[in-house]
Amino acid sequence: MRRRNKPALALALTLTAAAPLAVADEFADGEAVMQAVFDQARRHANQSAEVELVIVDSGGRERARGFRYLHKILPQRTKSLIKFHRPASVKGTGLLSETPDDADRATQWIYLPALRAVKRLNADDQNNSFIGSDFSNGDIAGRQVSRDNHEITSQDAAKIHIRSTPKDAGDAYSRIDSVVLRDILVPERIVFYDRNGDKLKTLSNKRVRKIDGMYLVVEAVMTNHQSGGATRLTKTRIDLARDIDPRRVGMQGLRM
Partner 1 sequence: MSARDERRAGAVEPAGRVQRLERFFRTGRGARIVAVLIWCALAAAAAAHLPRLSFDNDTWLPAAHPLRAELESFRAAFEPDEALLVAVELPADFFAREMTRAIRQLDAAIAALPAVRHVLSPATATTIIDRGDALEIISFGDALDKGFLDADSFRQRFDRSPYAGKLLSADHRVAALRVAVERGGAEARAMAVAAVVDTVRRHVETHDGAAAHFAGEAALKDELNRATRAQLPKLLALAALALAVFLRLACGNWRRAALVFTAAGAAVAACLGLLAARGWPMNAVLLALPVMVAVIAVADALHILARWDGLGGGEADDGHGDSDDASRLTATVRQTWLPCLGASVTSAVGFGAFAVSELIPLRHFGLASAAAILYAYPLIVGAVWGGLWLAPGLRRSPRPRIAWKKLAAAAYHPSAAHAGRVALAALLIAALLGGGLITLRTETNFLTVFFAEDSRVRRAFDVVDAGLGGSGRVEVTLHGGAAAFASAAALAQVESLATRATAIDSVNQVDSYLLPVAMAHAAFTGGGDNGETALPATDAALAQELLFLSLSRGEAQRGVLSPYLDFDHSSARLSLQTANLDSAALQQTLAATAAVAADFEPAAVGATAAESVTITGLNVFIHHLGQLVLRTQAFSIALTLAIIAALLLVQFGWRAGACGLIANLLPLAATAGLVAWLGHPFDFAAILIAGVTLGLSVDDTIHFLHHYRRGGAGRGIDADGDDSRARALNRTARPIVLTSALFCCGLAVVGASDLVVLRKFAAFTAFGITAALLATLVVLPALLKLVGRGRE
Sites of contact with partner 1 (CB under 8 A): 57-59, 61-63, 84, 87, 89-90, 93, 110, 112-115, 117, 119-123, 125, 127-129, 131-132, 134, 136, 172, 194-196, 200-201, 224, 226-227, 229
User: In whole angstroms, how close is the CB of 68 to partner 1 at the nearest point?
Assistant: 15
User: In whole angstroms, how close is the CB of 251 to partner 1 at the nearest point?
Assistant: 11
Nearest residue (CB) to partner 1, 93 versus 178: 93
User: In whole angstroms, how close is the CB of 254 to partner 1 at the nearest point?
Assistant: 13
Nearest to 200 by CA among 217, 169, 180, 176: 176
Nearest residue (CB) to partner 1, 139 versus 148: 139
User: In whole angstroms, how close is the CB of 167 to partner 1 at the nearest point?
Assistant: 18
Helix, strand or coil for residue 69?
A: strand
Spatial distance between the Cα atoms of 55 and 223, rounded to a whole number of angstroms: 10
Nearest residue (CB) to partner 1, 20 versus 92: 92
> Based on the number of CB atoms within 10 Å of its own CB, is 114 exposed (0-12), middle (13-18) or buried (19 or more)?
exposed
Helix, strand or coil for residue 27?
A: coil
User: In whole angstroms, how close is the CB of 85 to partner 1 at the nearest point?
Assistant: 13
Nearest residue (CB) to partner 1, 122 versus 153: 122
Spatial distance between the Cα atoms of 85 and 222, rounded to a whole number of angstroms: 22
DSSP E strands in 128-198: the ranges are 148-155, 159-166, 173-181, 186-194
Q: How many CB atoms lie within 10 A of CB 233?
A: 26
Nearest residue (CB) to partner 1, 75 versus 170: 170
User: In whole angstroms, how close is the CB of 77 to partner 1 at the nearest point?
Assistant: 18
Q: Which residues does 189 contact at the CB level (< 8 Å), separation at least 6?
A: 178, 179, 202, 203, 204, 205
Largest CA distance in the chain: 55
Nearest residue (CB) to partner 1, 143 versus 201: 201
